[in-house]
């Protein structure tokens, strides 16, 4: 297309109002009306625009995932998204409306260059251009690039957050540091979604459509906790430290899981810093205390689904603990433990071998019952850490304020109530069988045999449908009465989150 043709298109575009709801006084002006109008200041050249965009991309580099997509898009000679025959699309004003409030959620407005966009829009709409300090092709390039960059940054950060928790928390605790290299403990397996090319392409497809505002609104976080945290951030009474703590938790609310708690009617959430569990079924909430992993054996952050309850389960003692029981025959007998050998089967405690346990040839197993460390019931779900929710043989621990005491599993204060919560139809007969089995004492014998009603006894219960489970880390979280309470950062996750989050917040 000739430079003159671009000039005619631009004139038509610039005299079209781009503000939503404004009447266009020039709507009846035709291209022919400008056929004799010549002004070198207003010659539009797409090659010049693309060259200016390339210069800006080289100067900017990339700091967010969406920036990579912007570079790929404009490096591929794709159509302009905001410059059209109808002018600078009205979607630019829609985007600016959202950017005007971005600081209310703690995000740094400088990430979006809104002031520059507003100034350039005004320049284009008033034709306040020249060939030296305000060349039209440079201004249009700046608008096109900044609008796309800011738009994708905004929708990406609001929908996915800035940080990837798996990258953030899985390089904190060392597992080993030997000749094979440094290895890290996995502390997080949230499997969060991140902005990818498909997401960015869908977002760009909404530009210059009536649905862009609806699309953006649908991407914004909507969880109850998120709303409470944003209100807390803006109440004007927070110290600098309290503000940063709140911002860390707002960021966590943005992390996008395959299933989000607020998208499910029924789910279980365990929050580590508050040592609490919330079992939510619509408007009903069952709350209880929990014990979590100690600082050296942290409970991992994860999302999964509760699938089965085992009543009076056996405990296969983890290798790291089992080796300490070798030779403690009296203790093992008193706690109902035995040795399971892969070749020889069940053996008495005195047959425990340190070398065979470390090599995985033997296991130490604790029988189910009141002395079992897992307590009377365990709630199983798929995960990569061999952790579960379960009862405990040490219920007095729930009276302590500091309850980071386990080897990674979550001990629940009211296991029977949680078991009833899991039942889809609240079957009273099944609930009674669970209660009966949890009360059995294998040491209570009559005539040399345990007194057990086999018709009432139940070993396991399938959870159907499965119930979503979330193990989270919020240091500002629900307290009594549903109000927000600040909790200790027991694993130090706020510190590393704040360090990585600072470039993106105000």
DSSP letter (8 states) at residue 337? E
- Residue closest to 152 by CA, chosen among 77, 71, 214: 71
Enumerate the H helices of 407-490 as residue ranges: 415-422, 428-438
Asked whether the beta carbons of 150 and 113 are under 8 A apart, the reply is yes
Contact 324, 314 (CB under 8 A): no
CA R_g for the chain: 31
| 495, 248 Cβ separation under 8 angstroms | no
List the structure tokens of 476. Answer: 């500002």
- In this structure, the number of other CB atoms found within 10 A of the CB of residue 22 comes to 11
Integer Cα distance of 179 and 159 in angstroms: 41
Q: Can you tell me the distance from the alpha carbon of 374 to that of 412, in angstroms, rounded to the nearest whole number?
A: 10
In contact, 64 and 74? CB cutoff 8 Å: no
Non-local (6+) Cβ contacts of 357 within 8 A are 319, 322, 323, 326, 363, 364
Alpha-carbon gap, residue 378 to 309, rounded angstroms: 6
Catalytic residue among 188, 200, 206, 409: 409
Active-site residue flag, 200: no
Q: Is 232 a catalytic residue?
A: no
Residues 18, 126 contacting (CB under 8 angstroms): no
Using a 10 angstrom Cβ sphere, with 0-12 exposed, 13-18 middle and 19 or more buried, the burial of residue 33 is middle
- Cα 88 from Cα 13, distance rounded (Å): 7
Backbone φ and ψ of 46, nearest 5°: -65, -35
Contacts of 15 (CB under 8 A, 6+ apart): 24, 26, 29
Contact 388, 378 (CB under 8 A): yes
Question: What span, in angstroms and rounded, lies between the C-alpha atoms of 284 and 290?
Answer: 19
Q: DSSP H helical segments within 190-301, as ranges? A: 197-205, 212-219, 224-233, 240-254
Which residues are 173's β-sheet partners? none
Please report, for residues 336, 366, 419, 446, 489, the alpha-carbon distance to residue 314 in angstroms, rounded to integers and kept in the order given: 10, 6, 18, 23, 33
Cα–Cα distance, 269 to 272 (Å, whole number): 10
Catalytic residue among 159, 232, 267, 390: 390
Catalytic site residues? 390, 409
């Amino acid at each position: 297309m000739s430079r003159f043709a671009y000039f005619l298109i631009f004139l038509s575009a610039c005299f079209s109002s781009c503000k939503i709801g404004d009447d266009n006084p020039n709507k009846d002006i035709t291209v022919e009306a400008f056929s004799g109008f010549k002004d070198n200041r207003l010659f539009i050249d797409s090659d010049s625009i693309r060259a200016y965009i390339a210069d800006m991309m080289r100067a900017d580099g990339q700091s967010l995932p969406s920036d990579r997509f912007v570079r790929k898009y404009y490096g591929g000679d794709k159509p302009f998204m905001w410059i059209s025959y109808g002018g600078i699309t009205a979607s630019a004003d829609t985007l600016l409306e959202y950017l005007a409030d971005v600081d209310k959620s703690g995000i740094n407005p400088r990430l979006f260059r809104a002031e520059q966009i507003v100034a350039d829009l005004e320049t284009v709409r008033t034709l306040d251009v020249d060939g030296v300090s305000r060349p039209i092709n440079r201004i249009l390039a700046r608008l096109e690039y900044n609008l796309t960059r800011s738009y994708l940054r905004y929708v990406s950060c609001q929908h996915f957050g800035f940080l990837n928790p798996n990258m953030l928390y899985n390089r904190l605790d060392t597992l080993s540091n030997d000749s094979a290299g440094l290895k890290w403990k996995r502390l997080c397996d949230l499997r969060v979604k991140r902005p990818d090319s498909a997401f960015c392409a869908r977002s760009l497809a909404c530009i210059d459509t009536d649905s862009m505002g609806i699309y953006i609104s649908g991407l914004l976080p909507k969880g109850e906790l998120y709303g409470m945290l944003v209100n807390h951030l803006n109440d004007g009474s927070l110290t600098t430290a309290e503000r940063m703590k709140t911002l860390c938790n707002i960021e966590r609310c943005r992390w996008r899981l395959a299933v989000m708690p607020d998208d499910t009617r029924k789910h279980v959430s365990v929050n580590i810093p508050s040592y609490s569990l919330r079992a939510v079924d619509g408007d009903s909430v069952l709350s209880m205390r929990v014990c979590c992993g100690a600082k050296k054996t942290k409970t991992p952050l994860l999302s999964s689904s509760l699938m089965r309850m085992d009543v009076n389960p056996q405990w296969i003692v983890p290798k790291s603990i089992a080796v300490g029981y070798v030779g403690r025959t009296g203790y093992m007998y008193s706690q109902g433990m035995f040795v399971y050998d892969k070749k020889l089967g069940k053996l008495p405690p005195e047959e425990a071998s340190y070398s065979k346990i470390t090599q995985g040839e033997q296991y130490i197993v604790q029988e189910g019952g009141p002395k079992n460390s897992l307590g009377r019931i365990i709630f199983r779900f798929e995960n990569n850490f061999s952790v579960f929710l379960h009862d405990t043989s040490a219920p007095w621990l729930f009276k302590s304020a500091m309850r980071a005491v386990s080897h990674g599993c979550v001990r629940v204060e009211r296991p029977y109530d949680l078991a009833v919560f899991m039942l889809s139809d609240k079957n009273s007969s099944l609930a009674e069988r669970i209660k009966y089995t949890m009360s059995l004492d294998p040491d209570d014998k009559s005539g040399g045999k345990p007194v057990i009603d086999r018709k009432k006894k139940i070993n396991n219960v399938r959870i159907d449908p499965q119930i979503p489970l979330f193990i989270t880390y919020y240091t500002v979280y629900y307290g009594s009465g549903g109000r927000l309470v600040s909790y200790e950062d027991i694993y130090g996750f706020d510190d590393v989150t704040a360090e990585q989050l600072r470039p993106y917040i105000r």
